[in-house]
Structure 1
Amino acid sequence: MAAPAKARQGELGAEIDPLSQPENKEKFEVAKEFTFHLAKGIKNIGIYRHNTAKYPEFLQKAFESLTRFTEKHGPLSLKVEAQCFSLFKQPVFEVTEGGDNLPFKFYRDGIRHLIFRPEVTSDELVTFVLIALSDPNRGEDVLSQLWKAGLEHIEYVVVEGFSVGEMSEDDVQVEVDQIVGYLYSRLRSTSEDYLRFARVSAEDLDMKLEGVDQVRGAIVSGETADEKLVDRLQEEIKEDETTRLFPKILSAVFELMDEGGITEPEALEEIFTQLLDSMLLQEDFATINSLLVKLRSMERDPAKASLAERLRSFFQGKMADEQRLRHIGEVLNNTRPKQPQDVFRYLYALESRSIITLLEILENIEIQENRQIICDALASLGKDDPDPFVKRLQSEKSQLVRDMIYIIDKCDFADKMQYFGETLKNPNLAVRLEVLAMLSRSKSEQCRRFIVTALDDSNVQMRIQAAKVLPNMSPAKALQDLLRVIKSPEFDKRDLKEKTALFEALGSTNQQGALAHFVQLLSQKGLLRRAKIREDKLLAVTGLGMMPSIPAYKALQAVVEDKSNDAEVLTAARRHLYAMKKTLFGDQPDQA
């Protein structure tokens, strides 16, 4: 069975030149640009080795080229050969005559592939270059330095040298290269069993390496790994399974699509569905989003647009299935995602038909940060239809009402103030206060009228807050609204705290009508109703204290000079007079 497989692969290789495809050609050119700037950066670092602060600047263009490649095409995998780095079996970096043989430094230590992942940082690239420039004769070899550096986003495939029986080192190396080449090809295979690339069995190797002699009784010796090394390896394996596995699978699937290995839409739909469910179980939202990005990128290619559009529409439909969304809801209800923006991007990619399901999920989530993720997504999905959000404004759940207010405000619906005004009837005080604060930020007459209705609210806190915000919207109209309440027969029944708040609000209008009302109250005389007159004068003094002006200052001065006033009134007047003098004149003596 192995021979026909080889024949098919040979025929396929003869028929298809990878660089004949525009996307592969683009990958090759960008990779070549990266290695060109990398070589220049290495040369500059070698010349100015003492100027360590300049290293990132020397490698900036190389980093930009690498970032451009990985953002569009995913990981950059370069094959390491003795004299060059290659991509699609074509050299992208060759050793120049008289130049330093950079590829051989890696090749000598058994490194056969270098993989630069999309998240690679400038610091990691600098570290990688410094390792490449190091002299193994004066310190550790390249492989040991790479191992110790622990570059998270730069990976490498290594072949360790060893000896077997009477075979020469060159013979062993040839056979080992065959093994590694086969293992790596499983990641890029176009054969029918490509989905098993991550599970290579011994039988697979027997089929492939039929020309390689089997060696019995080989003895492998070495040092036992310590606990720290074992723990580190376990962590790396765990990370590989949780964060690197799916991007690799995805890259392999798209590479097969590019090379024509899979052309049936139904087969691709089945693959993507299984990938979606697996990634959701691993909570790998970043890879799901990258899959959508790749499909949108394919849509720009006329030759692939039809298939890519069909696959994207199908995939987004599966993303929006109620069962999958409720699974995400369970995740958000139990944990805080490490990358919340990835969850938001997933929900942002849905369509408006998912709004009702997301609203039902929102009601059960208790973690505030996760509620925010869903609210932001709903604000994007529901910007054309306010009804689902408006219907929930009268909910008994105060947090849900706050979320609906946030969404409606963010969507900026034309009638949003009307919706907020209706929410002032909500039985929950916290909701009403929040709506009142939101209405006060608008200067519209419609919002002002809604706030005026709150002056007659059943709750004293609402009435006080409404009185405080009205002068900021329209002082002249606030004067009339506040005087109406103050002069009403029911005002005397209200407690002193509320009365004081309304007089302070009246004074903050800084209107002539307010000053006249205060002066009228202060001019009251009589032996009857002394307690009522004293209270009125104290309220008037409080109101005058909120309108720093020369007329108000003189009115307070007159109160202080009138010795017929009660001691409590005189004390309050002196206190407000002193504060107003500092406001109007600073520390200068009174010139009035």
Structure 2
Amino acid sequence: MKRVRRYYYFVMVEPTFQGPTGTPAAVAKGAVDPEVAAVKLLLKLLEKAFKTSRTYGPNNPVAQKFFHEFYTDLTARLETLDRLTFVVQRSELYFQNEVVYQTESQTENLAFKLYVDGIRELSLHKGITQNDLASFLEALWGDYDSPTSDDDIVTRLWEKNLSAVTFVTAEEIMKSSDTTDVLTPQDSGIFDRPVASLREISSAERARQANEGAAGTGQRSRFQSSLAGYEVSPQELEKLAKEIETESARDDTTYILDMLTVILACEKSNTLLASLVDVFGEILETLAKHGTWPMINHVEGLLKEALELCPHLPEEHKKKLSGLFDRLGRPEQIKVIEAVLNKDPNVKTEGLLAFLLQLKPQTVPALCTLLANLESEEHRTIVCEALCTLAKDSPEPLVRGLSDRRPRYVRNLISIIGRLKNPRFAEPLEKLVQHPDSQIRNEVIRMLGALSPSGNGSKLIAFLTDAEEAVRLSALKTLTTGQYTAPFSAWSPIITHKQFMDRSVAEKRMTFQAMRQTAGEEAVPYWHELVTQWLWTDRKNKQSVGALAAEALGKVGTPTAIAALEAGQKRMNRAVRNACTTALAALAKQKRAKG
């Protein structure tokens, strides 16, 4: 049956409830009364009892616990006060001119529910029984699936006729001959009289109206009707309209899931519980087939909450519930997710990352396969994000995937490895030095620099034989910006290769700079040879390399390097001789500056 609620909207100016001194109670300040503080805690227990009872049913152990705690505290309080009387405002309850209850949510706000149904004062009397309290709570929150679901709180309380629960309505206030007296403190007027039931007030009011006769017809208030009037701001009216619209368009799937969770919380039969667990498993698999990720996360939250709030569940069923979500991480289920994502590149991915992060690390191999097969860049990015978290403690599938022939997949794995920042990955990355894709080789160099910014630089020197200049320059840049060391023997195959002489001046300069930083003094004999060699053949290249060698020797600046520069200064080639002279002059200038 579709839920229907009645809302009555009348705009009126209602007098502000006044404290004994005439100051509005809403702003009354002073020392905290222990009695008021105790009542605040009491109402918090009432709110807890309501929320758990409405979500998991009144028979749920947790709901029963909160109910008994509330009843125990309430009866203890009534032993000293005889009755607790609350003045009802739109979003607050007042006790002894102090706010004792207030919450922003109107859908679960006790004060708002009482206010919109016309109740302006509520009293709980000494002698209230557990049955009375249960009936009061039932009337308060209502059963919207019952035939009387359209009744408001006043009607439901009137039908139950609870002697220990009394109230005053806005209708009675508006019909009273002296509104000001009614709204003054509770020691006068109608608030001072015990109200046994709404029926008594209604009878007394009808008798008063009969005595007044027709003479008072012209002075009747426009609120003299069977409906209670209360002030509603435009913002509140708009919010209520939206709530009605949302309720009318309620999502059936969410409703069914919530109902199943309530059944799970209340059911005692092992057979039915086993069937219910299977139903939840089928629901999760169906949602995965349709890519409804937010709903999957919602179900996962419901199951976790059910496990926490249902201590009566047998361990067998608890394990099954805990394992339901793990079933979605099986390879066959991940394959279903792959089909959903590849079927439509524009499929909604809201909630997908949250869903993947709920999976266990054991699903990393299946997620790697998913990453390799996905076609959309957006989808691959989401899976990479999940693997950065799940693969921290189980990176082996990532390492195995580096040997895959699909460049796009390998690049994704390298980016994940870089974010994990685990030096153990440096060794498997070094094996990609001969990978056919230049982008991958470039990315490997960058990751090696991030994972191992110091130490032996031989692994980076190996990239200097690459056919792509961009790859070689990337390796040289990493060597010059890090704290690496390498023996001259590691450099020798690079600089003695015939192709080295054909490389650009900029690359040769960077090579000598990297040699100076990693090999240091070991490279001086090689540069000495370059500045003193004969230039009978390939004169242009040898002259260029000699000048670069003189520049490198000047940066080394050791006695051996200076001796090599002095020897080069005596050569006949003008370009090399000038380069050596310039380097020596720079060294002399540095020495004078220090000295």
Which amino acid in 1 is paired with 2:115? E
Aligned partners of 2:500 and 2:549: how far apart in 1?
Answer: 15
Residue in structure 2 matched with residue 89 of structure 1 by the alignment: 68
Deviation for aligned residue 1:432: 0.8
Residue in structure 2 matched with residue 230 of structure 1 by the alignment: 238
Q: 1:160 aligns with which of 98, 115, 139?
A: 115
Which amino acid in 2 is paired with 1:230? E
Q: 1:370 aligns with which of 382, 392, 401?
A: 382
Q: Which structure 2 residues correspond to residues 48-59 of structure 1 after superposition, within 5 A? A: none
8 Å Cα contact 2:364/2:391 also seen in 1? no
Which one scores higher on RCO, CA 8 angstroms, separation ≥ 6?
2
Unaligned runs of 5+ in 2: 1-28, 59-63, 125-130, 161-198, 203-224
Q: 1:200 aligns with which of 128, 145, 149?
A: 145
Which amino acid in 1 is paired with 2:145? V
Residue in structure 2 matched with residue 522 of structure 1 by the alignment: 531
- Over 3 Å counting, the alpha-carbon distance change for 1:510 and 1:278 in structure 2 is closer
Unaligned runs of 5+ in 1: 1-44, 50-57, 80-84, 112-127, 187-198
Aligned partners of 2:513 and 2:237: how far apart in 1?
Answer: 71
Q: 2:468 aligns with which of 455, 459, 473?
A: 459
- Over 3 Å counting, the alpha-carbon distance change for 1:365 and 1:260 in structure 2 is farther
Residue in structure 1 matched with residue 559 of structure 2 by the alignment: 551
Residue in structure 2 matched with residue 290 of structure 1 by the alignment: 301
Residue in structure 1 matched with residue 401 of structure 2 by the alignment: 389
Q: Which structure 2 residues correspond to residues 80-119 of structure 1 after superposition, within 5 A? A: 87-91=66-70, 93-94=73-74, 108-109=87-88
- Over 3 Å counting, the alpha-carbon distance change for 1:238 and 1:433 in structure 2 is farther
Deviation for aligned residue 1:536: 2.2
Deviation for aligned residue 1:539: 1.2
Q: Which structure 2 residues correspond to residues 161-176 of structure 1 after superposition, within 5 A? A: none
Residue in structure 2 matched with residue 196 of structure 1 by the alignment: none
Pair 1:531-2:540 in alignment: yes
Aligned partners of 1:153 and 1:46: how far apart in 2?
Answer: 29
- Structure 2 counterpart SS, 1:347: coil
Report how many residues are paired.
Answer: 468
Deviation for aligned residue 1:434: 1.2
Q: Which structure 2 residues correspond to residues 380-529 of structure 1 after superposition, within 5 A? A: 383=395, 385=397, 389-392=401-404, 394-397=405-408, 400-407=409-416, 419-440=428-449, 451-469=460-478, 475-477=485-487, 479-524=488-533
Aligned partners of 1:577 and 1:318: how far apart in 2?
Answer: 73
8 Å Cα contact 1:109/1:142 also seen in 2? no
Identity %: 15
CA RMSD of aligned residues (A): 6.2
TM-score with structure 2 setting the length: 0.57
Which amino acid in 2 is paired with 1:375? L
- Structure 2 counterpart SS, 1:501: helix
Aligned partners of 1:546 and 1:152: how far apart in 2?
Answer: 77
- Structure 2 counterpart SS, 1:424: helix
Which amino acid in 2 is paired with 1:544? L
Aligned partners of 1:346 and 1:565: how far apart in 2?
Answer: 72
- Over 3 Å counting, the alpha-carbon distance change for 1:210 and 1:483 in structure 2 is closer
What do residues 458-511 of structure 1 show as CA deviations (whole Å, max 9, x unaligned)?
11122233345568686343x223222212223222222222222222222243
- Structure 1 counterpart SS, 2:358: helix
Pair 1:219-2:227 in alignment: yes
Deviation for aligned residue 1:337: 4.4
Pair 1:317-2:296 in alignment: no
Deviation for aligned residue 1:545: 5.1
Aligned partners of 1:134 and 1:573: how far apart in 2?
Answer: 97
Aligned partners of 2:132 and 2:53: how far apart in 1?
Answer: 31
8 Å Cα contact 1:475/1:510 also seen in 2? yes
Residue in structure 2 matched with residue 11 of structure 1 by the alignment: none
- Over 3 Å counting, the alpha-carbon distance change for 1:77 and 1:249 in structure 2 is closer
Aligned partners of 2:503 and 2:269: how far apart in 1?
Answer: 82
Deviates most, 458-467 or 549-558: 549-558
Aligned partners of 1:210 and 1:302: how far apart in 2?
Answer: 34
Larger CA Rg, structure 1 vs 2: 2
Deviation for aligned residue 1:514: 0.8
8 Å Cα contact 2:398/2:413 also seen in 1? no
Deviation for aligned residue 1:104: 5.3
Deviation for aligned residue 1:151: 9.3
What do residues 133-155 of structure 1 show as CA deviations (whole Å, max 9, x unaligned)?
99857xxx777x634xx699988
What do residues 184-230 of structure 1 show as CA deviations (whole Å, max 9, x unaligned)?
476xxxxxxxxxxxx73646679x97994999x94354556525751
TM-score with structure 1 setting the length: 0.57
Residue in structure 2 matched with residue 7 of structure 1 by the alignment: none
Aligned partners of 1:74 and 1:536: how far apart in 2?
Answer: 86
Aligned partners of 1:502 and 1:358: how far apart in 2?
Answer: 42
